Amino acid sequence: MARKRDSDPEDRKLQGEKAVSRRDFVKKGAAGVGAAVLSTSGTALAQVSPVNAIQWNYEADVVIIGGGCTGLPAAIRARDLGASVIIVDQNFDLGGKMLHSGGQVSFGGGDPLQLRDIAGENDREGFVTAPRRQSVEELTEDPDFLFRDHTDWSVMDAAAQAPYRYNERDLHRAYADNCSATREFLMANYVRFGRIFGTHGNGGMSRARRAVTFLMEGATTDIKKGTVSKKDAGIPKVSSSHFAPRVMEDGSFVASKGARANGAALSRCLEFAAREKGVRFILNRHMDEIIREQQFSGRVVGIRASYSPRFAPETGRRLESLWQDGNVDDRTETIYIRARKAIIIGAGGHGANPQFRSMFYPAFREPAFVSSGWALLGPRGQDASGIIAGMRIGANLAGMQQNISYASTFHIPGNLATRDPYTDMLPGHPTFSFRGSTGINLPDASFQHLIVVNQVGKRFFNEMLITTRQGGAAFPADPRKGQPKSGLDHVQMDWRNASVANIKATYREPNSIHAALAMNEGSKAPDFFSGPIWTIFDRAAVERDKWNIDPPFTSPTNGFFFSADTIQELAEKIHRGHEFQRIPLTYLVETVAKWNSYVDKGSDPEFARGPDAPMYKIEKPPFYAATLNAVWHDSYGGLRINGRAQVIDMQGDPIPGLYAGGESSGGGNQHGLGRALVHGYIAGTNAAKEPGN
Amino acid sequence: MAISQAPTQPRNLGISWDPMTSQTEKMRGHTMCAVDVSPEVVDAGADMTLEAKVSCSPPCDLRGHALLVKHAGADPRRVELTEFDGVTNRTGEFVMKAPVKPGEYAWLAVSPAVVKEGVSYVQASAPISFTVQPHTTLVVTWDTPSAVVIGERFRLKVGIKCSNQCDFANREFGIYDHTGAQVGRSALSGDRWPGTTGLHVAEVELEAPAREGLYTWSVSSAGSDAGIPHTEGSISFGVQVVSHPECRVTVEAVDKDSQMPLSGARVVMHPYKAITDEHGVAEVLVAKGTYKLFVSQTHYMTFGVPVDVTADMKTRAELELEPVPERN
């Protein structure tokens, strides 16, 4: 008898936990799983550690929460300036989301790469020999120009959202002023960037600023030499590696033949530099509380953190980091770490905390839908704990509405049959077994071969538009990105950009995600969970469009892919076998019959399929169902920080000794790595200069 | 009529308390018993999974104590409690065969009186309620042509299976047209369709009606009461009847960048379909009229253009590769 997710609030604290119901929890007793549940951030709010009574287990000048895109550069920078540094991370390895990212980093303002490309120069190592991809004019700017781009009130994107107008001025002035130094700093710490091409989402409309990080394929992985082995870089459609959870892509178009590019090339190089420079790491360690002299006054003095190991499902063995230099392996349940100078919160965002994200979108409390990197980061990744710990000691928040202003904050990736659809991880990374399947990654056109239904088995949208999403508003400007003028013709702060006439002419948001999250006949109070989304297709679709539906792309056991001889049996299998399918798919048989009748007629009166692509019957056995999961990819609202990356309290004053950056901070709608890297650089610089306790 | 050995109670929540004992009678305890049944509606003669739970006041570890499951006819089945979590004793899941005759059933689980650690626990019982249904006959049709010319013969495949995997070789079925008249009959072969667990298959040939139009026909296989009961199974399918095609539309599909031919591309002019050959060419025979011509190929964006067909014509479709979604 399958145990289902029910609506017990205890179940929803950790979106990534397996579906253990409250009943099972009680049945199993308070040990084991219970200990993990009780050490989540939810309970941190209730606890205040009395400062004078604390026995500190460790201490360092700078304590950093999270070894990702904010924490690693902050740690290296603070070490460069002479501070001792401890990083704690809830996961077993470093890198956070940066490790599975595309490695696209937008800076600008006349940064060293823009200058390199303008001058037509190659890199010192001779890896970057590809021709310049942007004109001199497209690369020429200064920090003032970048700052104006990042605070341009007039830009409206193709979803009629304003990505720049709400950006915190102080923060983005500091960003513009530190882009060049951060690019230089990263390149001095083994990070290799290719040619600049375009700009990353919400990184500005007017100039090209994006470069991707790469390593060169070589016999061995050698960060100093800039090489990555074929195995570590990953083999497309076959295997990922511990080094790179997603296969590194061909970077020849921005560097030279043999370049392999993505976020692993950034993350592993920064990690290598941090380990080489003597940063200490306490992994498997979740920060539960930031301790301040008094709850709402005084300096921050340290943190309380609990043991948060992850175990391989097959062997029961604890997962270990790729590299170990500098690791402190402490398995004590609770430890206290004193920060002599400063604490930096780089704990990521709130995309995996259904309660927190429901502030922005109540329908997204549905726990079936996870944040990107769910398997990689585990149940405590992106759990908002950095933000919550800051709130608990009086921090203000910023940019809370800015989640809504970026196209991929929440969306439906076209990757079927996996719970973690954003990350196309293959076997080879230690966390693959948590997901069990890579997913069937389909381009939009392939959706002509299937239908998509909700938890009661009814279609809800034109399938050809379900995975369509707007790109972020960024250079080059274009009417498809909501701008009346293209490329360099874009005019900053021009009222015409936001005119009603322009918005009417450029609006192209399909809104399918909202239809997917809608209440339906199976949604029940108080949460009205929309339930999972299912693609339904037949053998003919698989043969016609040549899909690989075998493992590792699907799993016969993870509950995200089913096959059956008939549609009726398919519906029963889904209901029995998927943990978030709380009710039967009552209408599935009728829906498929109706769809087949629409195909006969050549038109779809319900959702207007037909004009965009041919329609095909779903009739040839066996029949298949695969999930189409929505994902909360990244998040923007978070702790308010100033231009020095100091966390600001409700009175507008910095909390002494406390810094934050990346997705733990708010006030900026810029997507991706650039924001977090600059915050980390600024925070590390200022934290090291703190007077100390 | 099915047997009934206990008053009907709400499904799965069957709870029966023995008479309350007095607070002063320290040596007597009471017992609560419940049984989960899955599925609650079960195919005739199929397996059911059950799990019984017994909790006591005061709490008591009853592992080793046996429950009796009283069912139709035969001797009661003994099932031991094997798990105790400090509150509830459980049997763990066990399997029993459902009766063959359809209907509503209520078996009884009895926890006999027992003395444990000086406390006397009185007998408790709980009904086990479920419904037995005939096996469902499931019918599928496929490879139906998208268009059939008036009066011509066409073929389609029929697959039929039992919800409980009964062998359906030689089972008969009929094909009925839009008026309900039988237009064909056949029997299933012994072959099972590849990739399926129990779908017996047959191929049938039929004749299209003499007038164009979209007709709804059906396949039906009668139910049976002999032996294991089975329901009737049926499914409807569309028959698109068209007049004799008058025009030949020649479509050449190429990659827009390389101008290389695309073989195996799908050409659709509803309801007509064709596939391009190794030269990227397909010929579609259509009636005169207005169509949306689609050419689609894996990894390419679908090419679509309206065409007005008045005579034989040639057209060229240049397909663009679909960009890989950006992951960042």
Task: Report yes or no: B212 at the A interface, CB cutoff 8 Å.
Answer: no
Chain B: give the shortest CA distance to residue A614, in Å: 6
CB contact under 8 A, A443 and B299: yes
Q: How do A85-88 and A280-282 pair as beta strands?
A: parallel
Q: Looking at the structure, do residues B269 and B215 belong to the same domain, yes or no?
A: no
Q: What is the mean pLDDT of residues A264-270?
A: 98
Distance between CA A638 and CA A385 in Å, rounded? 11
Domain membership of residue A147 (yes or no) is yes
Domain membership of residue B13 (yes or no) is no
Query: What ipTM does this complex have?
Result: 0.84
Residue type, A15: Q
Contact A385, A44 (CB under 8 A): yes
Task: Report yes or no: B300 at the A interface, CB cutoff 8 Å.
Answer: yes
Given B242, B258, B293, the domain boundary residue is B242
pLDDT > 50? residue A225: yes
User: What confidence category does residue B74 fall into, taking pLDDT thresholds of 50, 70 and 90?
Assistant: confident
Q: What is the pLDDT of residue B104?
A: 96
> Which of B268, B298, B326 lies nearest to residue A546, judging by beta carbons?
B298
Domain membership of residue B14 (yes or no) is no
Q: Looking at the structure, do residues A561 and A613 belong to the same domain, yes or no?
A: yes
Domain membership of residue B20 (yes or no) is no
Q: What is the mean pLDDT of residues A485-508?
A: 96
Substitution target from A212, A565, A575, A609 for chain B, most B beta carbons within 10 A: A565
For chain B positions 2-61, those within 8 Å of chain A (CB to CB) are 36, 38, 49, 51
DSSP string for residues in A552-594: TTS-SSSSSEEEESSHHHHHHHHHHH-TT--S--TTHHHHHHH
Q: What is the pLDDT of residue A39?
A: 38
pTM of the predicted model, to two decimals? 0.90
Q: Looking at the structure, do residues A58 and A34 belong to the same domain, yes or no?
A: no
Domain membership of residue A135 (yes or no) is yes
Q: Looking at the structure, do residues A137 and A210 belong to the same domain, yes or no?
A: yes
- Digit-coded pLDDT (tens) for A50-70: 788 899 999 999 999 999 999
Q: How many residues does chain A have?
A: 693
Residue of A nearest to B90 (CA): A27
Name every chain B residue with its beta carbon within 8 A of the beta carbon of A569: 138, 163
Domain membership of residue B3 (yes or no) is no
Q: What is the CATH number of the domain that holds B232?
A: 2.60.40.10
Distance between CA A578 and CA B225 in Å, rounded? 35
Q: What is the CATH number of the domain that holds B298?
A: 2.60.40.1120
Element spanning A149, H or E: helix A143-150
Q: What is the mean pLDDT of residues B113-137?
A: 92
Give the strand order in the sheet containing A249-250.
A227-229, A214-218, A259-261, A249-250
CB contact under 8 A, B328 and A614: no
Name every chain B residue with its beta carbon within 8 A of the beta carbon of A602: 270-271
Q: What is the pLDDT of residue A10?
A: 36
Residue A604, C-beta contacts closer than 8 angstroms, at least 6 positions apart: A462, A595, A598, A610, A615
Given A632, A647, A668, the domain boundary residue is A632
Handedness of CA A474, A476, A479, A485 (dihedral sign): positive
Q: How many CB atoms lie within 10 A of CB A183?
A: 28
User: What confidence category does residue A13 fall into, taking pLDDT thresholds of 50, 70 and 90?
Assistant: very low
Q: Looking at the structure, do residues A145 and A212 belong to the same domain, yes or no?
A: yes
Domain membership of residue B222 (yes or no) is yes
Q: Which among A338, A343, A349 is positioned nearest to A388, based on CA atoms?
A: A349
Q: Looking at the structure, do residues B32 and B128 belong to the same domain, yes or no?
A: yes
Name every chain A residue with its beta carbon within 8 A of the beta carbon of B300: 445
User: What confidence category does residue B63 fall into, taking pLDDT thresholds of 50, 70 and 90?
Assistant: very high
Element spanning A172, H or E: helix A169-187
Q: Looking at the structure, do residues A104 and A231 belong to the same domain, yes or no?
A: yes
Phi-psi domain of A202 (left: phi exceeds 0; alpha: psi -120 through 50; beta: other): left
Element spanning A512, H or E: helix A512-516
pLDDT > 80? residue A441: yes
pLDDT > 90? residue A404: no
Chain-centre distance for alpha carbon A628: 18
Q: Looking at the structure, do residues A102 and A251 belong to the same domain, yes or no?
A: yes
Question: Would you state the structure tokens that stand for residue B327, as one six-digit string?
Answer: 């992951």
User: What confidence category does residue B325 fall into, taking pLDDT thresholds of 50, 70 and 90?
Assistant: low
Instruction: Quote the radius of gyration of chain B (alpha carbons, Å).
Output: 32
User: What confidence category does residue B243 fall into, taking pLDDT thresholds of 50, 70 and 90?
Assistant: very high
Residue A633, C-beta contacts closer than 8 angstroms, at least 6 positions apart: A351, A371, A372, A408, A409, A410, A411, A422
**Where is pLDDT greater, at A117 or A48?**
A117
Q: Looking at the structure, do residues B141 and B217 belong to the same domain, yes or no?
A: yes
Residue type, A333: E
Q: Which among B1, B290, B238, B326 is positioned nearest to A633, based on CA atoms?
A: B326
Q: How do B233-242 and B148-149 pair as beta strands?
A: parallel
Q: What is the pLDDT of residue A34?
A: 31
Chain-centre distance for alpha carbon A508: 24
Q: What is the mean pLDDT of residues A458-470?
A: 93
End-to-end, the C-alpha distance of chain A in Å comes to: 58
Residue A499, C-beta contacts closer than 8 angstroms, at least 6 positions apart: none
Q: How many residues does chain B have?
A: 328
User: What confidence category does residue B14 fall into, taking pLDDT thresholds of 50, 70 and 90?
Assistant: very low
Domain membership of residue B51 (yes or no) is yes
- Digit-coded pLDDT (tens) for B129-150: 999 999 999 999 999 999 999 9
Q: Which among A344, A376, A474 is positioned nearest to A79, based on CA atoms?
A: A344
pLDDT > 90? residue B37: yes
Residue A399, C-beta contacts closer than 8 angstroms, at least 6 positions apart: A166, A167, A168, A636, A637, A638, A666, A667, A668, A669
For chain B, the domain total comes to: 3
pLDDT > 90? residue B277: yes
Name every chain B residue with its beta carbon within 8 A of the beta carbon of A414: 325
- Digit-coded pLDDT (tens) for A550-583: 999 999 999 999 999 999 999 999 999 999 999 9
Name every chain A residue with its beta carbon within 8 A of the beta carbon of B296: 445, 448, 613-614
Q: Looking at the structure, do residues B38 and B110 belong to the same domain, yes or no?
A: yes
Q: What is the CATH number of the domain that holds A657?
A: 3.50.50.60
Buried b (16+ CB within 10 A) or exposed e, B79-111: bebeebeeebbbbeeeebebbeebeebbbbbbb
Q: What is the pLDDT of residue B9?
A: 38
Given B81, B100, B133, the domain boundary residue is B133
Chain A: give the shortest CA distance to residue B112, in Å: 24
User: What confidence category does residue B29 fall into, taking pLDDT thresholds of 50, 70 and 90?
Assistant: confident
Q: What is the pLDDT of residue A6?
A: 39
Chain-centre distance for alpha carbon A276: 27
Q: What is the pLDDT of residue B26?
A: 56
Task: Report yes or no: B292 at the A interface, CB cutoff 8 Å.
Answer: yes
Q: Looking at the structure, do residues A655 and A556 belong to the same domain, yes or no?
A: no
Domain membership of residue A494 (yes or no) is no
User: What confidence category does residue A407 fall into, taking pLDDT thresholds of 50, 70 and 90?
Assistant: confident
DSSP string for residues in A438-490: --EE--GGGGGG-EEE-TTS-B-S-GGGTT--PPPSBSSP-GGGT-SS-GGG-
pLDDT > 80? residue A323: yes
> Which of B214, B304, B324 lies nearest to residue A601, judging by beta carbons?
B214
Task: List beta partners, residue A535.
Answer: A452, A626
Distance between CA A492 and CA A213 in Å, rounded? 29
Q: Looking at the structure, do residues A539 and A587 belong to the same domain, yes or no?
A: yes
What residues make up the domain containing A584? 410-469+511-632
Element spanning A338, H or E: strand A334-345
What residues make up the domain containing B292? 247-319
Q: Which among A664, A677, A645, A661 is positioned nearest to A98, based on CA atoms?
A: A677
DSSP A401: G
CB contact under 8 A, B142 and A200: no
User: What confidence category does residue A4 fall into, taking pLDDT thresholds of 50, 70 and 90?
Assistant: low
> Which of B197, B296, B327 lies nearest to residue A614, judging by beta carbons?
B296
Q: Looking at the structure, do residues A526 and A641 belong to the same domain, yes or no?
A: no
Q: Looking at the structure, do residues A116 and A176 belong to the same domain, yes or no?
A: yes
Task: Report yes or no: B104 at the A interface, CB cutoff 8 Å.
Answer: no
Distance between CA A42 and CA B209 in Å, rounded? 69
CB contact under 8 A, A565 and B38: no
- Digit-coded pLDDT (tens) for B209-238: 999 999 999 999 999 877 899 999 999 999
Chain B: give the shortest CA distance to residue A188, in Å: 23
Name every chain A residue with its beta carbon within 8 A of the beta carbon of B142: 538, 540, 617, 619-621
Question: Mean pLDDT in chain A?
Answer: 92
Phi-psi domain of A197 (left: phi exceeds 0; alpha: psi -120 through 50; beta: other): beta
Is B177 in a helix, a strand, or coil? coil
Q: Looking at the structure, do residues A334 and A262 belong to the same domain, yes or no?
A: no
pLDDT > 60? residue B308: yes
Task: Report yes or no: B327 at the A interface, CB cutoff 8 Å.
Answer: yes
Q: What is the pLDDT of residue B72?
A: 75
- Least confident piece of the model among A149-153, A344-348, A372-376, B118-122: B118-122
Domain membership of residue B327 (yes or no) is no
CB contact under 8 A, A545 and B298: yes
Contact B257, B241 (CB under 8 A): no
Domain membership of residue A505 (yes or no) is no
The most confident of the ranges A442-446, A468-472, A562-566, B169-173 is A562-566
pLDDT > 90? residue A35: no
- Digit-coded pLDDT (tens) for B89-104: 999 999 999 999 999 9
**Where is pLDDT greater, at A270 or A510?**
A270
Q: What is the dihedral of CA A666, A668, A672, A676, to 10 degrees?
A: -60
Given B242, B257, B288, the domain boundary residue is B242
Q: What is the mean pLDDT of residues A680-686?
A: 98
Domain membership of residue B18 (yes or no) is no
> Which of B195, B214, B216 lies nearest to residue A539, judging by beta carbons?
B195
- Digit-coded pLDDT (tens) for A360-387: 899 999 999 999 999 999 999 999 999 9
Q: What is the mean pLDDT of residues B257-268?
A: 96
Q: Looking at the structure, do residues B129 and B141 belong to the same domain, yes or no?
A: no
Residue A315, C-beta contacts closer than 8 angstroms, at least 6 positions apart: none
Residue of B nearest to A210 (CA): B328
User: What confidence category does residue A405 fall into, taking pLDDT thresholds of 50, 70 and 90?
Assistant: confident
Chain-centre distance for alpha carbon A414: 16
Q: Which among A380, A414, A363 is positioned nearest to A519, based on CA atoms?
A: A363
Q: What is the pLDDT of residue B7?
A: 37
Q: What is the pLDDT of residue A44?
A: 44
pLDDT > 70? residue B205: yes
CB contact under 8 A, B266 and A27: no
The C-alpha angle with vertex B256 and arms to B252 and B260, in degrees rounded to 5, equals 60
For chain A, the domain total comes to: 4
CB contact under 8 A, A617 and B327: no
Substitution target from A619, A624, A670, A671 for chain B, most B beta carbons within 10 A: A619
Q: What is the mean pLDDT of residues A323-335?
A: 97
Q: What is the mean pLDDT of residues B55-81?
A: 89
Report in angstroms the alpha-carbon separations of A166 from A170, A509, A667, B139: 12, 21, 7, 58
Q: Looking at the structure, do residues B154 and B231 belong to the same domain, yes or no?
A: yes
Distance between CA B19 and CA A454 in Å, rounded? 48
Name every chain B residue with its beta carbon within 8 A of the beta carbon of A619: 140-144, 237
Distance between CA A644 and CA A577 in Å, rounded? 51
Chain B: give the shortest CA distance to residue A93, in Å: 20
Give the strand order in the sheet containing B213-221.
B148-149, B233-242, B213-221, B172-176, B182-187
Residue of A nearest to B144 (CA): A619
Question: Would you state the structure tokens that stand for residue B319, as one six-digit string?
Answer: 């397909």
CB contact under 8 A, B298 and A414: no
Contact A53, A41 (CB under 8 A): no
Q: What is the CATH number of the domain that holds A448?
A: 3.90.700.10
Residue type, B16: S
Q: Looking at the structure, do residues A127 and A240 belong to the same domain, yes or no?
A: yes
The C-alpha angle with vertex B140 and arms to B137 and B145, in degrees rounded to 5, equals 155
Q: How do A85-88 and A58-65 pair as beta strands?
A: parallel
Name every chain A residue with its beta carbon within 8 A of the beta carbon of B301: 445
CB contact under 8 A, B138 and A568: yes
Name every chain A residue with its beta carbon within 8 A of the beta carbon of B240: 600
Residue type, A636: Y
Domain membership of residue A294 (yes or no) is yes
